[in-house]
Amino acid sequence: MLTPRLAPLTHRLTHRLTRRPQASASGVGIGAAVGRALTVWRRSVSARVVVSTVLLSTVVVGAVSWLLVVQVRDGLLDDRVRSATAEAETETVQAVDRLVGGSDFDVASQLELVAAPLSQRGAVRGYEVLVARSDADPASDLTTSGSISSPDLDLTSVPRSLREHFTSSTQLAWAWTSLRTTGDGTTSEVPGIVVGTQVQLPADGRPYTLYLLFPMEQEQETLALVTRSVLVADALLVVLIGGVTYLVARQVVTPIRLARKVAERLAAGRLQERLRVSGQDDLARLASSFNQMASNLQRQIQQLEELSRVQRRFVADVSHELRTPLTTVRMAGDMLHDARTDFDAPTARAAELLQVELDRFERLLGELLEISRYDAGAVALEVEDVDLRDVVERVVRQTATVAAGSGVEVDVREPGRPCVCAADGRRIERIVRNLVTNAIDHAESRDVVITVDADEHSAAIAVRDYGVGLAPGESAMVFNRFWRADPARARTSGGTGLGLSIALEDAHLHGGWLQAWGTPGGGAQFRLTLPRHSGDQVRHSPIPLLPADAEPVR
């Protein structure tokens, strides 16, 4: 049971803890709504057009409406000032006439003679009256300075600035004021205008000021009505503009969206898709041009596909057909090569050259057949656990003779721990052999460094040479079929020009990377990166593509 002191604290803590998930949920809801709104804004042309048009229309309509309200207000005020001053002048003339024709000679009677008719007409016409001495102190209280006024008028409604004006001037003057009246124990205050004129009483010869206070409730109500009407009209106009803009934008955007969908289907390989053409306007002509373009693309793609299919079939057929005569020529060449010691020197040399070129021709046929299998999509992997260190060791032994003949020393750097990945060992060995022989071929008697490393997700092999290198842009072209950076340079390894292309296809078949880096005169580095587990995607490599000893670009 909780003590009385702990009970309120526990209640507050429970209340806060129960409210936090709600606040968090509301925050997440607001964030999600903002995210959806931003997504719509980025992806929808019609939404941007409608919102932009509505915002600009709101600004323009608001400015025009403000100018209209200001003009109406100024017109009402100017009209009220003119009517008030005209009525004040008329009442002053009539008051003077009554004083001149009156028979009363005391001040009180003459003040009553002036104020009584004004108060009666003011009660009918809706204005208040105050008659006060002009030579009284403007700071003094009018109730103690011999003034006479309408019954419910609060004399503080007359501004001090207007009273000061009549201490030194007899000209008609007016001022804005807050007209305050009392009645039934309550005080009401409305905006108004005070018009003052000066008269002189014959009884004492002193100047008196006639203040006529006109309320402006009607003008205020009229201005409020105009403002409300303008605001309602503005809101309706902005809504109508938004609706019209949406309809217009939809008429323009809908064909564009249809064109986008058809373009996406064309990009996905559905070359028979076309836009529906209706009408003769610009959009219809655009749809016709789009359909014509799609038809031309379909025809050209079909021609290219047919040509590619014929070429692949031709390469495959020629490669297979050349196998039979190559076997015969190989047998004859082997016999001549075995008997070369019985020939004279030129004939023996010809037999040796024939053997070398037959070897190269056989490799070329094998690689052409491999390329044709890749083109036909008939390649399958035989996945097993492969230690890349063992692969590199075998390749170094196989290429030792070529490296020694070129004066190149191959340096292998490995981490001293297994670098195992799931791969086709035969194809990985072929990739590494192509990279190493290519590096020896371009090393120009300098060392070749092979780096092996692995991490939790990927394993990699990098082959670095310090030879001629690659010019800018050649790091991507080097994997093209039969491409050579310098066709005039002699090959020392008898390459066919397809090795790197096949290596790239083998790397992609494993879901890996095969990348190249190089600088002119600074050598090159080729990096093979493979996923550790079959079916995974390579996201990074344990070996950087840019070598640590690469010279900075100046």
pLDDT at 28: 64
Neighbours of 204 (CB within 10 A): 14
Q: Are the CB atoms for 464 and 547 separated by under 8 Å?
A: yes
Question: Beta partners for 514?
Answer: 528
Asked if the structure places residue 62 within a domain, the reply is no
In CATH, what number is assigned to the domain containing residue 464? 3.30.565.10
Residue range(s) defining the domain that contains residue 145: 82-223
Residue range 202-225: mean pLDDT, rounded: 88
Rounded Cα–Cα distance for residues 426 and 412 (Å): 20
Q: Helix 345-376 crosses helix 499-509 at what angle (to 10 degrees)?
A: 30
From the number of C-beta atoms within 10 Å of its C-beta (0-12, 13-18, 19+), residue 29 rates as exposed
Which helix (H) or strand (E) segment is 550 a member of? Answer: none
For residue 219, which of 62, 67, 84, 65 has the smallest C-alpha distance? 84
Same-domain pairing of 86 and 31: no
Q: Report the pLDDT value the prediction gives residue 379, as an integer from 0 to 100.
A: 72
Give the residue, 230 or 261, on which the prediction is more confident.
230
Q: Does one domain contain both 173 and 35?
A: no
What per-residue confidence (pLDDT) applies to 10?
Answer: 42
Q: Tokens 């702990």 label which residue?
A: 6
How far apart CA 177 and CA 166 sit, in angstroms, is: 17
Sign of the torsion formed by the C-alpha atoms of 142, 147, 150 and 152: positive
Across the range 306-325, mean pLDDT stands at 73
Q: Which three-class secondary structure string do you get for 477-514?
A: HCCCCCCCCCCCCCCCCCCCCCHHHHHHHHHHHCCCEE
Same domain flag for 396 and 464: yes
pLDDT of residue 526 exceeding 50: yes
Same domain, 389 and 519: yes
Highest mean pLDDT, choosing among 8-17, 26-35, 188-197, 474-483 = 188-197
For 346-371, b/e burial (b = at least 16 CB within 10 A) is eebeebeebbeebeeebebbebbbbb
* Whole-number pLDDT of residue 134: 82
Confidence of residue 357 (pLDDT cuts 50, 70, 90): confident
pLDDT value of residue 223: 92
Instruction: Report the alpha-carbon distance of residue 299 to residue 317 in Å, rounded.
Output: 26
Burial class (CB in 10 A: 0-12, 13-18, 19+), 212: buried
**Nearest to residue 211, comparing CAs of 76, 107, 84, 105?**
84
Domain end call among 207, 223, 239: 223
Cα angle 489-491-493, degrees, rounded to a multiple of 5: 160
Given a contact cutoff of 8 angstroms between Cβ atoms, the answer to whether 482 and 506 are in contact is no
What is the spatial distance between Cα 240 and Cα 487, in angstroms, rounded to a whole number? 71
Domain contains 51: no
Q: What are phi and psi of 185, to 5 degrees?
A: 75, 5
Whether residue 393 is found in the same domain as residue 518: yes
Q: Which residues pair with 177 in a beta bridge?
A: 192
Helices (H) and strands (E) in the chain, counts: 12, 12
| Distances, alpha carbon 140 to alpha carbons 104, 107, 143, 308, in Å | 28, 20, 9, 110
Number of domains in the chain: 3
Same domain, 385 and 522: yes
Q: How confident is the model at residue 292 (pLDDT cuts 50, 70, 90)?
A: confident
Structural domain includes residue 37: yes
- Of the two residues 403 and 8, the one the predictor is more confident about is 403
143 bridge partner residues: none
Q: For 167-190, write each residue's pLDDT tens digit.
A: 888 899 999 999 888 877 788 889
Task: Count the residues in the chain.
Answer: 554
User: Is position 59 within any domain?
Assistant: no
Largest CA distance in the chain: 170
Do residues 89 and 197 make contact, with C-beta atoms less than 8 angstroms apart? yes
Q: What pLDDT, on a 0 to 100 scale, did the predictor assign at position 552?
A: 53
CATH number of the domain bearing residue 141:
3.30.450.20
Residue linked to tokens 């076309």:
274
Q: Is 540 exposed, middle or buried (0-12, 13-18, 19+ CB in 10 A)?
A: exposed
What average pLDDT does the segment 94-98 reach? Answer: 85
Per DSSP bridges, beta strands 448-454 and 410-413 are parallel
Distance between CA atoms of residues 57 and 51, nearest Å: 10
Q: How many CB atoms lie within 10 A of CB 406?
A: 19
How far apart CA 466 and CA 442 sit, in angstroms, is 8
What is the spatial distance between Cα 460 and Cα 541, in angstroms, rounded to a whole number?
7
Distance CA 180, CA 154 (A): 5
pLDDT(527) > 90 = yes
Shared domain for 87 and 218, answered yes or no, is: yes
In a domain, 328, yes or no: no
Given this model, what pLDDT does residue 316 score? 67
Could you tell me the pTM of the whole model?
Answer: 0.50
- For residue 268, give the 3-state DSSP assignment: coil
pLDDT digits (tens, 9 = 90+) for 48-72: 888 888 999 999 999 999 999 999 9
CA distance 359 to 333: 10
8 Å CB contact between 155 and 147: yes
Question: 33 and 94 share a domain?
Answer: no
Verify that 488 and 431 share a domain, yes or no. Answer: yes
Mean pLDDT of 438-449: 88
In a domain, 98, yes or no: yes
What is the pLDDT at residue 490?
Answer: 47
Does 461 share its domain with 524? Answer: yes
Residues 542, 456: Cα–Cα separation, whole Å: 9
Last residue of a domain, one of 198, 223, 248: 223
pLDDT band of residue 486 (cuts 50, 70, 90) is low
Q: Is residue 218 part of a domain?
A: yes
Clarify whether residues 388 and 527 are in a common domain: yes
Q: What is the mean pLDDT of the chain?
A: 82
Confidence (pLDDT) at 15: 45
Q: Classify the phi-psi angles of 523: left when phi > 0, otherwise alpha if psi is within -120 to 50, otherwise beta.
A: left
Other Cβ atoms within 10 Å of 205 Cβ, number = 7
Task: Indicate whether 87 and 142 sit together in one domain.
Answer: yes
The angle at the Cα of 179, spanning 174 to 181, to the nearest 5 degrees, equals 140
User: Percent of the chain at pLDDT above 90?
Assistant: 25
Is residue 310 domain-resident? no
Per the structure block, which two tokens stand in for 309?
């299919």
Query: Which tokens sit at 386?
Result: 């492969």
Of all helices (H) and strands (E), which one includes residue 247?
Answer: helix 217-267
